[in-house]
Chain A
Amino acid sequence: MNKYNVIGGFGISMGYTLLYLSLIVIIPLSTVLLSAMSMSWGDFLATVLDRRALLSYKVTILASLTAAFVNLIIGFIMAWVLTRYEFWGKSIINAAVDLPFALPTAVAGITLTALYAESGWIGSILAKFGIKVIFTQTGIALALIFITFPFVVRTVQPALEELESELEEAAASLGASRIQTLTKVIFPIIAPSLITGFALAFARGLGEYGSVIFISGNMPFKTEITPLLIITKLEQFNYAAANALALMTLLTAFTVLFLLGVLKKFIRREQ
């Protein structure tokens, strides 16, 4: 490795990276695995394959996917506007994008619930059309869209900034239509960042607790998310079962992050 870099020190920096990653991420997460392993195999399966648990995965994964998809589209448009155009108030919008990260998630949950309740500003309008948001899966997705909003914008923005508009102009001068420029020139280049943003948003959505419990109504089998089920197990002092469910969440997130990582590599090789 050393010969590829004018500054050496691979050994020491790699050692440091591994030590730090172990202390901060891997060791804490492996205790989840260890605690889950204190159960017998049968108990573990009974816990993670329980009907209530299965339905909670469904709710959690569906809402996280929906939120990630919505943010993929809106986030791309937003990043495009912020990098390609100059307009008044741009820096304000740019700063506002990150605000969901700064807000305690419970505050987000309470605020959204207040807005979308039938007595709230938006909820009262939606109610006229018979649309119910709070205490439904739509509400959960909404909370997750809010929480994970900055991910796609912030990962796509640098890629778009690097992509010089000369490339688009060249494509246009060679006779490409606008759609062709978009699909043949722009998307292949920013696809890896889009995927990264999507993956981060999805993984973050899986673990979100604070904002969701306020807006979801927590009805068993209907709007119960996996993190709530984990807390429920903890309330019964059932640490092993809680960690078994946590392990499932971790595995789901890891699988998705891993697969999307492979996809990203594949796209890069294609180019």
Chain B
Amino acid sequence: MRKLLKPFLTIAVLFALPLTLLAKDITLLNVSYDPTRELYEEFNKAFAVYWKAKTGDNVTIKQSHGGSGKQARSVIDGLEVDVVTLALAYDIDAIHDNGNLLPADWQKRFKSNSSPYTSTIVFLVRKDNPKGIKDWNDLIKPGVAVITPNPKTSGGARWNYLAAWAYALEHKQNPQEFVKALYKNVPVLDSGARGATTTFVERGIGDVFLSWENEAFLVLNELGKDKFEIVVPSLSILAEPPVAVVDKVVDKRGTRDVATAYLNYLYTVDGQRIAAQNYYRPRDKKALDAYGKFFVKTKLVTVDKTFGGWRKAQKTHFDDGGTFDQIYGK
């Protein structure tokens, strides 16, 4: 009986092995920040279809969302993450600095600064814009209440701060005085972007809300165009949420190829279309023209050119003792 069983088993294994090799079940974990939930739900489905067609493998992508800095910390603390798609390059830099899970030059590994889609900071105002807010200089007028989260705890708030700073630079005003005047008009510093949205939208506090463009569109769609309007200032900042493969994890799990393909797929026509339909500005001109008609063109400065990159911007403005702390100092 034993002798009969052995060849039988060998044959069974020989047959079963290539079958399992042919159709692998792969899971990836994408750790992202709060407002990208809808974007990646749609994108993950599209990628799974594409990958199945290309390789025959089934890929399931799990998503995790939260504050960008908090997400980076979970990665540093050992959450096994194949790819990160965060709000700021600084948060991915921290993954290099504190955990050495990916190389220092991670941002060069994908096209366009590793940011497949971009966004910007716009103003959300109440219907008919009762305070007549058109541009950044309207925000420092007395009697205007500005809602923006705390740049120390919110990635989005740092874009807001830098955009205001860039406007002052452009108009030859003292940027620190300008930003200080702006924060004088801030009645509450929420700890995160969603909290600030609640303060403005639900609580009815403030005249203008400095918001990610995609978040502003979501508010408009979900809470009604009869209540709010989007105002695009004459100058804003090019917010580049970056993506990266976490080398240490993909090498351990053997998922480097699929993880890299996943992020590259964001740059394809399909990926760019999904980004545009979720109100992120696609990098690709054609996709922008085809799907992004609702984006208002405005002058956009970059962190790299105006502020010398995220590391420098973080150190000058948001680290302890930086310009933001000085605003509230004596």
List residues of A whose CB falls within 8 A of some B CB.
52, 110, 113-114, 117-119, 135, 213-214, 217-221, 228, 231-232, 234-238, 241
Contact = CB atoms under 8 A, between A and B. Distances in A.
A231 B153 contact: yes
A231 B73 contact: no
A239 to B, nearest CB: 8
B203 A235 contact: no
B152 interface: yes
Given A236-B320, A237-B98, 12 more contacts: A114-B202, A118-B205, A135-B188, A213-B191, A213-B195, A214-B195, A218-B191, A228-B153, A232-B153, A234-B69, A235-B70, A237-B69
Contacts of A221: 328
B25 to A, nearest CB: 35
> Range of interface residues on chain B?
20 to 34
B189 interface: yes
Interface in B133-167: 150, 152-153
B301 interface: no
B189 A217 contact: yes
Contact of B203 (A114, A218, A228): A114
Nearest to A46: B320
A208 to B, nearest CB: 14
Contacts of B153: 228, 231-232, 235
Given A110-B198, A218-B189, A236 B328 contact: no
Contacts of A220: 189, 325, 328
B292 to A, nearest CB: 32
B94 interface: yes
5 contacts: A213-B190, A214-B195, A228-B191, A232-B153, A235-B69
Contacts of B318: 236
A1 to B, nearest CB: 43
Interface centre among B187, B188, B202, B318 (most CB of A within 10 A): B188
Contacts of A114: 202-203
Nearest to A47: B320
B224 interface: no
B177 interface: no
